[in-house]
Chain A
Amino acid sequence: MPKELLEGNAAIAEAAIRAGVEAYFGYPITPQTEVLEHFSERLPELGRVFLQAESEVAAINMVYGAACAGARVMTSSSSPGISLMQEGLSYIACSEVPVVVANIMRGGPGLGNVQPSQGDYFQAVKTTGHGDFHMLVLAPATVQEAIDLVVLAFDLAEKYNTIAMVVADGAIGQMMEPAELPPMRPVRLPKERPAWALTGAKGREHIIITSLYLGAENLERVNLRLQEKLKKIAASEVRWKEYSTDDADLLLVAFGTVGRVCQTVVREARAKGIKVGLLRPITLWPFPSARLNELAHQVRGMLAVEMSAGQMVEDVRLAVEGRCPVRFYGRLGGIVPLADEILPELEKLDAELAGGKES
């Protein structure tokens, strides 16, 4: 398919349609509303289900219901809306039904603002809801990558019967750039729904989908099964991208929009003779910890750059296990750190570590 000039939010919705989404339930919230609007136009004309819910609380539970019925389903929201969905996400995680969520993050806490932010990293990878679970979290840096990761999100959600969340900051949701959409996949027919789905107890025992397990041993067994699955995901689904890391002795770590800004920083720093590379995590959970640990042996230090007060940097520090210094630079409130403010931070780190790699 040829490249088109696409807006991030509309592209995310259209990618889901191409991936065969059967139903969408959502609620308007800036800066993701165009996702909902695109679905509202396209799904009915394709004979699929679109419903604007009365709240994010209802939307995620509609998604939960549709997923239990075996339909390919998604919702989207932005930070405060995701907070309202956390209850439902926890139930979905325990029930092990596949669900895709797009989170076009905005500034917080509270009502915050509608500017792009990465302040919900913790929420996406660590504090999604009550109980022990993780979602699979995918973070695009371009509109093209957003499209590709939405399609991948459906595949992974269904492969592992888990929640896959695509987290993009508002900049990716709102900007337009050339990108290519995938071909239209055929929509799964009702009779092709998975065997575990609620389709009516015809010629088989009745099926129960629940997240209630009375008795400590019962619930521990369920939790251990969940953890086993998460281990499998962690072992097989880590994704990241590296830029100029071959000979790097300093490393930038950044995801999403600021990960893209850091590519410019790498070019400019190298022009100044600083041998810096960039690791851009694509899966925030599972996190590319093993690769960061390897690189910690190679580089003198790392600089994590985020559109937050420093959230991912905690996972970078956990990954490097103290093998090298890890510094942080971030902007808050919806401000995107620019190359000409990141570069001085990098130069500072370079000067500080001028003595070379301590061994």
Chain B
Amino acid sequence: MAMVEIPADMELVYKRPESLTLAHTHYCPGCTHGVIHRLIAEVLDELDVRERTIGIAPVGCSVLAYYYFNVDMAEAAHGRAPAMATGIKRVSPDKVVFTYQGDGDLAAIGTSEIIQVANRGEPFTTIFVNNAIYGMTGGQMAPTTLPGQVTTSSPTGRDVETTGWPMRMAELIGILPGAAYVTRQAVLDGPGIRRTKKAIKLAFQSQLGGLGFSMVEIISTCSTNWHMGPVEALEWAKEHMVAYYPLGDTKVSDGVRALMEGR
């Protein structure tokens, strides 16, 4: 991709973050992974940590995230990113480590790993993208699928009597003592995107301060597997997902509180 010369009489106000590569993403039109990638990359740039950051990609739609982040990356087995991140952070405590995980990865197959790292207070950051569905495998029921939501494996709608209830991970993780900062945000409109970026930044700052485990759950969309247009998907998420998954912080440790107030 060729860079365009900036005319002398114009000011550069917006550019690709250094922490993103030039690669085109494979994400579907209307997908919010690209927005979230960019927010993380902007934060890594602003904190000037790109050159000492190690990311872990999950299994799921963002499995190829390692092509898009211009930082060292490893690819984990499904659900195991928090364990891998533990290994990396323990032998490289000076590095900035993050996992990027979806709802199937984090809230189903990797439930044990995420709870244990939060409980141990592993000082890394997890970005948890919740779009209430398995995207990569073609739209099956996720642990976060809403009651009554139709998916390819809940064709008559999720029946909570037989499949259990959607898991509120931010609340579940927030009660663990090792978690320093846990929050749920949404990238469904401009203000939400700005709040999400603030939360991601605070999560990484909490890591840099060695304060404990930090996780940002992000309510996201999946136009393709929800069978909706991108705008319709955003509206549906606002109306239905945010109603079930309230936005806001579920854990702010004293150390993180001091960070917030110091800003």
Taking Cβ atoms with an 8 Å cutoff, the residues of A that contact B are 22-23, 25, 49, 51, 53-55, 57-59, 61-69, 71, 73, 87-88, 91, 95, 190, 198-203, 206-212
Taking Cβ atoms with an 8 Å cutoff, the residues of B that contact A are 21, 50-54, 56-57, 63-64, 66-67, 69-77, 80, 83-88, 90-92, 94-95, 112-113, 116
Q: Find the residue from B52, B74, B87, B95 having the highest chain A CB count within 10 A.
A: B87
In the assembled complex, the Cα of A29 lies from the Cα of B50 at a distance in Å of 40
In the assembled complex, the Cα of A66 lies from the Cα of B95 at a distance in Å of 12
Which chain A residue has the least Cβ–Cβ distance from B51? A202
Total A-B Cβ pairs within 8 A: 133
Task: Known A62-B84, A63-B87, A73-B87; judge A211-B75 contact (CB<8 A).
Answer: yes
State whether A68 touches B90 (Cβ < 8 A). no
In the assembled complex, the Cα of A208 lies from the Cα of B70 at a distance in Å of 10
Q: Cβ of B86: which chain A residues have Cβ within 8 Å of it?
A: 25, 51, 58, 62, 65
State whether B95 touches A200 (Cβ < 8 A). yes
A213 CB to nearest chain B CB (Å) = 10
Q: Find the residue from A22, A57, A62 having the highest chain B CB count within 10 A.
A: A62
Q: Which of B73, B83, B90 contacts A206 (CB 8 A)?
A: B73
In the assembled complex, the Cα of A23 lies from the Cα of B93 at a distance in Å of 13
Q: Cβ of B57: which chain A residues have Cβ within 8 Å of it?
A: 210
Which chain B residue has the least Cβ–Cβ distance from A209? B74
Cβ contacts A to B, 10 pairs, < 8 Å: A25-B87, A53-B83, A54-B116, A61-B87, A62-B86, A64-B83, A69-B92, A206-B71, A208-B66, A209-B73
In the assembled complex, the Cα of A201 lies from the Cα of B19 at a distance in Å of 10
Q: Cβ of B95: which chain A residues have Cβ within 8 Å of it?
A: 69, 199-200
State whether A87 touches B77 (Cβ < 8 A). yes
Q: Which of B70, B80, B85, B87 contacts A201 (CB 8 A)?
A: B70
State whether B69 touches A69 (Cβ < 8 A). no
State whether A91 touches B73 (Cβ < 8 A). no
State whether B80 touches A88 (Cβ < 8 A). yes
Q: Cβ of A209: which chain B residues have Cβ within 8 Å of it?
A: 73-75
B99 CB to nearest chain A CB (Å) = 10
Q: Which of B72, B73, B87 contacts A23 (CB 8 A)?
A: B87
B27 CB to nearest chain A CB (Å) = 15
Q: Cβ of A61: which chain B residues have Cβ within 8 Å of it?
A: 76-77, 80, 83-84, 87, 113
